[in-house]
Structure 1
């Protein structure tokens, strides 16, 4: 193991840095009832680039009153949007998809500027986000009801799906475009309207998406975007969760915040769709194709610099392949993790999104090292690049008393844990209240099915490190959320079932 440690210490990061370029589709006002508006109190807050803290633009710092106005616009629009045909809704979603496709590069530039992720990854996010617009444009016409065989000879039993109403959409900073399209396209397909509150760190992608939705002919009030700083986020969130207009709350973010919103929703017995935190195990068994596992480990861990709810968190490596896996992982990190401003070609690792996130990642690594873990590579800030660039880190000798063993890292930190059996892998994997994604690498088909059944997670990827797709239901169990996004199930989340009994058919 010492040769691995020395290899890590001799690593030299490649650094590429650039500035912010002028972006098409950059908006500096909120979007309510089909109009671009300022906050009622005229307040604004700055949106900055996490790579260099440069200000990109200022956007409205809206308050509770503004959120209420947006909800009323969405409520008014719902009365007509709900009665449009599925074919009409599908056509509008298709136009929105086409415009986003045509403007993919411009959208990606905005995502890179406000989130810091490399431009190549941002383009991937836009393609992923667009796939939901396309998918739900098709799904809108397939939200079918049922005719149930009646127990009575003169009656008919009908079950239909109706839109739930106005949806509050609260989205995170790590995928600022895709998390919006995944929710909004689904609810629109079902006949609902919405108010979106994007993260205070990344509101610009939401505004750009709204601009293209407007161009696509989405009727006014169907989509509304309320921007707010961290200072006002709590007051705005309270309105979006507790106001009587709201029928459903759709949230992606931390488990801690999700529980708070769930409590608010309970006051009005509102529908919730919660996609919360994860603690994904990445299990490598002796029969695995090691090179394939390593390639997918890079994707599962370092996509968006580890800032993803389905990012691999605990690497559970069987003792028979442990040393080879760690050695191969170290080599790939050395070669492929290139830090810098995301607009520069070749950069694969941008900054962490904000100071709070950077401090959290650093403190978790420091905690592990203080308790005996070794960083074969990384383990500190790359302060010569910027104050939010944390080096890609590989930890070994990780033990259960460390935060990185038990908690979601949400950063570029690999925790390798040696296991001796399938049973141990399952025990460690399931020893968490999170249950979003999990990864298993094995060539043993029986083992793959057996372990998949026993892994207490909403999603299991076997021999693959990227599992999300618009066609499949995305979501978790335990404290990782309620409901599913994507697939036909994603649109059904925004519908209520209505049972209609038609009687006296024999007269």
Structure 2
């Protein structure tokens, strides 16, 4: 099977079998699919088709655009349509995503799509402002052709928001698929066309890893590409932001994280322990919002360790999922080795070396010190660390202040979690954290569809979700309409 580009909804005639690259399953290293290898010409054709479609799509009634997205959501929910089964099967074929993680996304994504529909209806309407002898109309208009690059790790949710948000706002979209999930992301394009999306409004191009730098540079240099949204690593995001800046293209960047959990002195550690485990190990830690650091007073460290170990012992867990590549797994193992060599012990996980290939044992280490590589690097694996705050001869307020300082002592700022029995105190702490979202008495890995989602600092800028997400894919135009006497302008006050 060759997974082709989706340049329009119409079948593409091929003069010959295109050049391909392989998708390799991370668990067994077997080739799953061969994928069409995009060229300079195919990327240019994708942009051309989207530009042509934009002329009519941008003026299409908002209700029409919303109806298409609603129909796509209905197709996912309708078991007889087979769409949910196809999307789930493709994702599991390409990655080590568990059946639960895949099905969770597909259940969640339809609600997300409907929240976007509602948000779009709130945002895409003209606003009138009274001025001096004038009325000013402020319109929100689409940018044009948007380039979307969505990561593989939560492919259904990330792909949906990357393409549906700009489409609802009246843009057309070129989606550069992840080299790990090209089939799943092509299916999202097919789904939207099946729901009634007009031809050319969405193109999906597959780019081999070795071609990515040249072809993405080509796309960003194309004057017809007016906007970029990217979800992925901070390292790649930095490169893309630089390229986009060179061509003055606006961007939305949702990047990496180093999410802290702050266990205030009065926190319920037993309850928190289950949320720490969930936040650390969900999807093998391959989520930008994963719990990476747990901050606790030194006097409560042993109590926390006991709570985590008891919770883990009583938790029914599946087999450890594979990470997305063997090189990623080795990098995570290297971080664990470094931490152990510098004094950290395993609270959970002792059999790291028994797992080979792309597998890493679920691990929580502590106490961690700031000279360990894992203290600052995003692991993007099933690993978190416990950092203790010396609370001897210190007041609770002093301990909390130090926790806040340590939580903010990172280049990242995506999400955080604060635990306390005192909601007022927890709220006060939350408002001092340098990140895009804080969850009180809840895990770090949480995302509410109608609430703005995005990071501070090296975790990115711009926002997905809700009305802020729609605004991210529009630009304003102000029109001043004079309503006074056009001859009444007192020219004598100007130094002409």
Which TM-score applies when normalising by structure 2? 0.90
Measured in 2, the distance between the counterparts of 1:27 and 1:209 equals 17
Output one character per residue of 1:384-425: Cα deviation in whole Å (capped at 9) or x when no partner.
6x5211111121131100011111111111211112310111
250-259 or 289-298, which deviates more? 289-298
**Could you say which residue in structure 2 is the equivalent of 1:446?**
424
Measured in 2, the distance between the counterparts of 1:322 and 1:371 equals 18
Output one character per residue of 1:79-135: Cα deviation in whole Å (capped at 9) or x when no partner.
110010111111111111111223324322322222212101111122233333222
SS at 1:32 equivalent:
coil
**Could you say which residue in structure 2 is the equivalent of 1:34?**
9
Q: Structure 2 residue aligned with 1:190, among 169, 182, 205? A: 169
Q: CA deviation at 1:506?
A: 5.8
Output one character per residue of 1:200-258: Cα deviation in whole Å (capped at 9) or x when no partner.
11212101111111111111111110012211111221122221111100001111111
**Could you say which residue in structure 1 is the equivalent of 2:357?**
387
Output aligned runs, 1:115-130, within 5 Å: 115-130=95-110
491-500 or 122-131, which deviates more? 122-131
**2:9–2:190 Cα contact (<8 Å) kept:** no
Q: CA deviation at 1:320?
A: 4.0
Q: Structure 1 residue aligned with 2:405, among 427, 449, 453? A: 427
79-88 or 371-380, which deviates more? 371-380
Measured in 2, the distance between the counterparts of 1:40 and 1:311 equals 44
Structure-2 change in CA distance of 1:129 and 1:48 (3 Å): farther
Measured in 2, the distance between the counterparts of 1:175 and 1:351 equals 15
Measured in 1, the distance between the counterparts of 2:115 and 2:483 equals 41
Measured in 2, the distance between the counterparts of 1:211 and 1:83 equals 23
Q: CA deviation at 1:505?
A: 5.8
Structure-2 change in CA distance of 1:210 and 1:504 (3 Å): same
Measured in 2, the distance between the counterparts of 1:186 and 1:109 equals 25
280-289 or 487-496, which deviates more? 280-289
Measured in 2, the distance between the counterparts of 1:262 and 1:85 equals 33
Measured in 1, the distance between the counterparts of 2:15 and 2:236 equals 25
Structure-2 change in CA distance of 1:87 and 1:73 (3 Å): same
Unaligned segments of structure 2, at least 5 residues? 392-398, 487-496
Q: Is 1:140 aligned with 2:115?
A: no
**1:472–1:487 Cα contact (<8 Å) kept:** yes
Q: Structure 2 residue aligned with 1:88, among 18, 39, 64? A: 64
Measured in 1, the distance between the counterparts of 2:352 and 2:74 equals 41
Measured in 2, the distance between the counterparts of 1:388 and 1:339 equals 16
Measured in 2, the distance between the counterparts of 1:72 and 1:383 equals 51
**1:30–1:36 Cα contact (<8 Å) kept:** no
40-49 or 293-302, which deviates more? 40-49
Q: Structure 1 residue aligned with 2:291, among 288, 302, 312? A: 312
373-382 or 283-292, which deviates more? 373-382
**1:43–1:60 Cα contact (<8 Å) kept:** yes
Measured in 2, the distance between the counterparts of 1:371 and 1:382 equals 18
**2:305–2:347 Cα contact (<8 Å) kept:** no
Structure-2 change in CA distance of 1:405 and 1:191 (3 Å): same
Q: Is 1:77 aligned with 2:36?
A: no
**Could you say which residue in structure 1 is the equivalent of 2:386?**
416
Unaligned segments of structure 1, at least 5 residues? 1-25, 341-348
Measured in 2, the distance between the counterparts of 1:39 and 1:499 equals 49
Output aligned runs, 1:390-401, within 5 Å: 390-401=360-371
113-122 or 308-317, which deviates more? 113-122
Output aligned runs, 1:281-430, within 5 Å: 281-336=260-315, 338-340=317-319, 349-381=320-352, 383=354, 387-419=357-389, 420=391, 421-430=399-408
**1:39–1:62 Cα contact (<8 Å) kept:** no
Structure-2 change in CA distance of 1:376 and 1:504 (3 Å): closer
Q: Is 1:175 aligned with 2:154?
A: yes
Which TM-score applies when normalising by structure 1? 0.89
RMSD: 2.0
Q: CA deviation at 1:181?
A: 0.5
**1:161–1:495 Cα contact (<8 Å) kept:** yes
SS at 2:431 equivalent:
helix
Q: CA deviation at 1:287?
A: 1.7
Q: Is 1:251 aligned with 2:230?
A: yes
**Could you say which residue in structure 2 is the equivalent of 1:496?**
475
**1:169–1:194 Cα contact (<8 Å) kept:** yes
